[in-house]
Amino acid sequence: MIVEQIPIGKMANFGYILGCEETKVGALIDPAFEPEKLILRAKELELDIEWILNTHGHFDHIEGNDVAVKMTGAKIIAHRNAMFYTDLKVDHGDNFKIGNIDVNVLFTPGHCPDEICFFVNKQVIFTGDVLFVGECGRTDLPGSNPREMYHSLFKVLSVIPDDIDMFPGHDYGNSSMSTMGFERMNNYVLKQRTEDEFVEFMNTP
Ligand SMILES: [Zn+2]
């Protein structure tokens, strides 16, 4: 499996290339701002980009979709709540394949109502704007909900084992990626809190 993390744009976003080495089928994750950069790198890796995966509908994650589709003919996969163009809508628990790679969908709203994480080959998870290295996504935006964020972080992502590599949607931490276990130990938003304590914590500037 190929996983490449590529810094894109001026908002510290990460776009990703996910590729199956056996079939040479590839996907772009959140190809905003500089889709050409991701596609050029995918070409170097000899991947045929058939899919675009979007973690959620904020512009800094989807605004390169149109260009990427034009350049590759790829189909767009996003959550069924997505308000932007998609070819395949998915929901919590759904599985799909990128070549021989298994992708499992986790519905994780709280930052954005259509937010999903992609748990790939039971090895890596792409957490979008739910969980960053040392931080979590904002819950003060339109469509945000700190109670849903609590559920996503402490009930949904809690099933992901400690040794799983975590790739976030932005470069906001001390490192560009982490593991779920390291975040559970060190990320201050994942400290044990009741739901009410978490909501108060998120609502305190
Ligand atoms: Zn966002």
The residues spanned by each domain of the chain are 2-203
Alpha-carbon distance of 57 to 64, in angstroms, equals 12
pLDDT at 110 over 90: yes
How crowded is residue 83: how many other Cβ atoms within 10 Å of its Cβ? Answer: 11
What superfamily does domain 2-203 belong to in CATH?
Ribonuclease Z/Hydroxyacylglutathione hydrolase-like (3.60.15.10)
Q: What is the pLDDT of residue 144?
A: 97
pLDDT at 154 over 90: yes
Distance (angstroms) between ligand 1 centre and the Cα of 187 equals 19
Which of 46, 26, 36 has the alpha carbon at shortest distance from 6?
36
Alpha-carbon distance of 115 to 95, in angstroms, equals 16
Q: What is the pLDDT of residue 205?
A: 79
Distance (angstroms) between ligand 1 centre and the Cα of 141 equals 9
Residues around ligand 1, an ion, CB closer than 5 A: 58, 129
Beta strand ranges found along 135-199 (DSSP E) = 135-136, 165-168, 178-179
pLDDT at 139 over 90: yes
Alpha-carbon distance of 111 to 89, in angstroms, equals 19
